[in-house]
Amino acid sequence: MHDIDLRQLRCLVAIVDEGTFTDAAIALGVSQAAVSRTLASLERALGVRLLRRTSREVTPTATGLRVVAQARRVLADVADLVREATSGHTRLRVGYAWSAVGRHTVAFQRRWNAAHGDVDLHLVRVNSPVAGLAEGACDLAVVRRPLEDRRFDTAIVGLERRLCALAADDRLARRRSVRLAELTDRTLLVDRRTGTATVDLWPPDARPAVEEIHDVDDWLTEIAAERGIGVTAESTAYQYPRPGIVYRPVRDAEPVAVRLAWWRDDPHPARQAVVELLTELYRTA
C-alpha cells in the first residue's frame, strides 16, 4: 500500500488548478517550498512523474491527468463523508418498509417542520426488515415487527388495527368486517421480510395457504386479480388506496404495534422528539 494522504492530493489538485507552485502555495496557505516537497513525496510514493514543470508553466503528464481526475473524485468523496458524519443535527431520515405512519404521515411531516424547522425531515422507503436502518439508508426506522437484533433499540409509539385486503368483488368485500376463521380457505400473500401477517395468527389446524411476495405493488396487484388476500396494518389502507381493492377490519386479530427503531450505540439526536410526536399523534387519533 502506497503512503498517500489527502494533503498530497489537495496539493496536486491545487497546482493544476492554480497553474503555478506559487499560486498553489497561496491557495493552500503554505510556503512554495512546502508545495514542492509535498508533490515530490507524492511522486515518490507512486513511483511516477505527475507534472512537467518549466519556467513558464506546470502541466500534468499523461499519468498525471489520470491521477488528478481520480484525486478530485477522492477529495469529493471525503467531503461527502464529512458532511454525512456531521449532518446528524441538521438532517433526519426516517425509514419505513411499506406505509410510513399511515394516516398520520402528513401530520407528522407538517408538525415536525413547524416545530423543528432546523432539522430537515426525509421519509425513505426501504423494503428491508429494519427499513433501511442496518443499510445506513436512514437514521430512525418505523417498523411493525419486534426486532431481535440487539444492535437496535425500539419504542412503541402506537397501535394499528389489522385489516384484510380483498378484491372489490370478493364475497367478503360486502361485509363491514371479517374474522380470521373466514380466511382459512384463502391464499395469504405475505412479505416475509417486513410484513406483519403470518400464519401464526391462526390456530395450527386452521391456517391458510401462503404465497410470498416481495413488494407492496406486487401484493396489491395479486389481490386485485383475486390470486390471494392480504392481512396488514391499517396504515397500508391509508398509504395505498387502490381501485379494485377494499380493506375490511379483522375484528378478532390482535392490533399491530408500531415501533420506532434506532441504533443502540448511536441514536440520532432527534430520536426522543420523534418518539414523542408520533406517540402524541397515535394517542390523539
Q: Is the pLDDT of residue 1 over 60?
A: no
pLDDT-derived band at 215 (thresholds 50, 70, 90) equals confident
- Does the pTM surpass 0.85? The reply is no
- Residue 133 C-beta-side C-alpha neighbours within 13 Å: 27
Q: C-alpha angle with apex 155: 152 to 158, nearest 5 degrees?
A: 140
Please name every residue paired with 58 in a beta bridge, in sequence order, or none if there are none: 53
Q: Which phi-psi region, left, alpha or beta, contains residue 16 (left: φ > 0; alpha: ψ -120 to 50)?
A: alpha
Cell of 160: 394499528
- Following CA atoms 29, 32, 33, 35 in sequence, which dihedral angle do they give, to the nearest 10 degrees? 70
pLDDT, mean over the chain: 92
Pairwise CA distance, residues 61 & 124, whole Å: 45
Q: Is the pLDDT of residue 55 over 90?
A: no
pLDDT-derived band at 9 (thresholds 50, 70, 90) equals very high
Contact 171, 195 (CB under 8 A): no
For 222-275, how does the pLDDT look when each residue is reduced to its tens digit (9 = 90+)?
A: 999 999 999 999 999 999 999 999 999 999 999 999 999 999 998 999 999 999
Q: Hey, is 284 helix, strand or coil?
A: coil
- DSSP assignment string, 220-282: HHHHHTTS-BEEEETHHHHH---TTEEEEEBTTSPPEEEEEEEETTS--TTHHHHHHHHHHHH
Pairwise CA distance, residues 12 & 157, whole Å: 53
Pairwise CA distance, residues 36 & 213, whole Å: 61
For 56-99, how does the pLDDT look when each residue is reduced to its tens digit (9 = 90+)?
A: 788 999 999 999 999 999 999 998 788 767 665 678 999 999 89
Give, as one character, the DSSP assignment of residue 178.
Answer: B
E runs forming strands in 61-214 = 91-96, 120-125, 140-143, 152-160, 162-167, 187-190, 209-212
Percent of the chain at pLDDT above 70?
A: 97
Pairwise CA distance, residues 84 & 232, whole Å: 35
Q: φ, ψ for residue 211 (rounded to 5)?
A: -130, 135
